[in-house]
């Protein structure tokens, strides 16, 4: 088994209520650090599982047992140059050169804030490109895909499908 790190953002529970932390612990979130930030619950997991998909699926299930609403899984799929550098272990300067096609070609185009000084890229597209350049391993691509798919599903279906969680656990 491997330990997988990720966060789940949830809502719907008052952190001031009695037994708040106990509710998460008893639901199986004993491997998460809880905090309340900007009006939402942040559960930072270090979950042991055979796969990243299984870790995320089981954590989503455990959060749902608390009666909290799962809003999304993080790290977010939209990334800045600094985020790309941090997640990939490469320098910000190297990433900047990739984006300008001064080192290699075909780096993905930004997907948000394209005309601003702080464009954002789709982390899945970036990981696929970096993997093709042998800069990161395949696990990073798989994890990026799982987080993006999980968040898309949560947006559309309010996180209520057992089928999706079973499929995610198989990743």
Instruction: Write out the chain's pLDDT in tens, 171 residues.
Output: 899 999 999 999 888 878 888 999 999 999 999 999 988 999 999 999 999 999 999 999 999 999 999 999 998 889 999 999 999 999 999 999 999 988 889 999 999 988 888 899 999 999 999 999 999 999 999 999 999 988 888 887 654 556 566 666 665
pLDDT of residue 168: 64
Which tokens go with 155? 């947006």
Edge-to-edge strand ranges of the sheet holding 69-74: 32-37, 40-49, 2-11, 69-74
**Cβ atoms 20, 14 nearer than 8 A:** yes
pLDDT of residue 161: 57
Q: What CATH number is given for 2-74 in this structure?
A: 3.30.70
């Amino acid at each position: 088994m491997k330990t997988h790190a990720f966060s789940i953002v949830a809502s719907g529970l008052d952190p001031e209520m009695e037994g708040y932390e106990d509710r998460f612990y008893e639901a199986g979130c004993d491997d998460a650090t809880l905090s309340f930030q900007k009006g939402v619950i942040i559960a930072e997991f270090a979950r042991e599982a055979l796969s990243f998909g299984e870790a995320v699926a089981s954590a989503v299930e455990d959060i749902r047992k608390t009666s909290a609403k799962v809003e999304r899984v993080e790290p977010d799929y939209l990334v800045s140059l600094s985020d790309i550098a941090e997640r990939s272990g490469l320098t910000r300067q190297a990433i900047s050169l990739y984006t300008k096609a001064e080192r290699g070609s075909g780096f993905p185009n930004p997907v948000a804030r394209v005309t601003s000084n702080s464009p954002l890229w789709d982390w899945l597209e970036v990981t696929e490109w970096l993997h093709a350049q042998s800069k990161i391993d395949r696990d990073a691509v798989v994890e990026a895909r799982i987080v993006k798919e999980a968040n898309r599903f949560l947006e559309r279906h309010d996180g209520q499908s057992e089928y999706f969680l079973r499929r995610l656990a198989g990743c």
